[in-house]
Amino acid sequence: MGNDPWQPVRRGLVALGLVVVIGTVGYMVLGLGLLDAVYQTVTTVSTVGFREVGSSTGAWKAFTIVLILLGVGTVLYTLTATLETLIEGRVTDHLRRRRMSREIEQMSDHVVVCGWGRVGRRAAADLAAAGRDVVVIDSDPRVLDSPIPFVLGDATDELVLAAAGLARASTLIAALTSDSDNVYLTLSGRAARADMFIVARARVESAEARLLQAGADRVVNPQLIGGSRVAALTLQPHVVEFLDVVMHDGSIEFRLAEVTVPEGSPLVGRTIRDAAIRDRTGAMVMGLRRPDGAFVANPGPDHVVAPGQVLIGIGTPSQLDALRGAVDSVAP
């Protein structure tokens, strides 16, 4: 509450209300009825001075002088506080948006998250925590409270997408509430960059095929994932919780990571045994994904590493860094 910009305004309004109450009671004591007392108080405090409704006795004049001094000061304070709050808020918001616009203009290979609902907020927070540059788009003014750079507007508007640097982004997350809007966003992202990685949210199962046809690389249905997770927690709670800890918690040192084998890697054409990945890096290859999309779980020592494969390793952060280095380094 100490940072509430409207607190001075509320104080001024409370003080003004007290002045009106004091003035009304005072004039009633001096002989006016309730309505006349309120009328006399308001005209006195506002300095309108339309007409006096009571006798100008010494006590009347003294009370009016005091009421004018208190009332005018209180009114001026309240008006000043209101104007300062409005102007400062608008100026601060304008400067913040300009600062964010400059920051977004300097971004490349960032993630554009469209939708500041529960899915979008969590995705943006996790990505930012992992060190990725993120830009959020939403038309809800609540996005103004986001610590993450944002663009306030309709995510289906091409100008808004351009302001978020969509053409320079590496990833688009379409997490709007409407499946049709997410289809449009997917099409826009694919048109902006053919190599953009697109993750789209689907509210109903029938929308998944349309999103994939529009160009989404992955489609997420939170309801289906939630149901599957409930079932998994029921059947194998310890396995699920272990994966959660490894992927998100940070309370244990081990992590999971994916490493793509590029053309020219010193591991290409060598078996996992010959490459001595475990001995050289300390990381263990739990699985891999072939370029055709098929997974190979727990590849054997005679498996030949090929370009385009994605190695899925587990180990400490330093071991995983060593795995990345082994994939990209010059062959020993």
In a domain, 226, yes or no: no
Residue 27 belongs to some domain of the structure? yes
Expressed in angstroms, the distance from the first to the final Cα of the chain is 62
2 inside domain:
no
Greatest pairwise CA separation for the chain in angstroms:
110
Q: Is residue 277 part of a domain?
A: yes
111 Cβ partners below 8 Å, 6+ apart? 124, 127, 132, 133, 134, 135, 169, 170, 171, 172, 173
Our count of domains for the chain comes to 3
Reduce the DSSP state of residue 285 to 3 states and report it.
strand
Q: Are 47 and 68 in contact (CB under 8 A)?
A: yes
Q: Is residue 179 part of a domain?
A: yes
Q: Left, alpha or beta for 165 (phi > 0: left; psi -120 to 50: alpha)?
A: left
Find the angle CA(87)-CA(93)-CA(176) to the nearest 5 degrees.
140
SS3 call for 164: coil
Q: 180 and 115 in one domain?
A: yes
User: Which secondary-structure segment (H or E) carries 201?
Assistant: strand 197-201
> Which amino acid, 36?
D
pLDDT at 88: 62
Q: How many CB atoms lie within 10 A of CB 297?
A: 8
Of 84, 101, 118, the domain-final residue: 101
Residue 228 belongs to a domain: no
Contacts of residue 265, defined as CB under 8 A and 6 or more positions apart, other chains included, come to 305, 307, 327, 328
Verify that 45 and 115 share a domain, yes or no.
no
- CATH number for the domain that contains residue 85: 1.10.287.70
What is the structure's pLDDT at 87? 66
The domain containing residue 260 runs over which residues? 253-328
Render each residue's pLDDT in the chain as its tens digit; 332 residues.
345 567 777 888 888 888 888 888 888 888 888 888 888 888 888 777 666 666 667 787 788 888 888 888 888 888 887 777 666 655 566 667 788 888 899 999 999 999 998 899 999 998 998 889 999 999 887 776 778 898 989 999 999 999 999 999 999 999 999 999 999 999 999 998 899 999 999 998 889 999 999 999 999 998 888 888 889 888 888 888 877 777 766 666 778 888 999 988 888 888 888 888 888 888 888 888 988 888 888 888 888 998 999 998 888 888 888 888 888 865 44
Distance CA 31, CA 169 (A): 75
Q: Which of 175, 203, 220 is the last residue of a domain?
A: 220
Residues 39 and 42: their CA atoms lie apart, in Å, by 5
pTM for this model (two decimals): 0.62
Q: Is residue 238 part of a domain?
A: no
Residue 243 forms part of a structural domain: no
> With 0-12 CB in 10 A as exposed, 13-18 as middle and 19+ as buried, what is 173?
buried
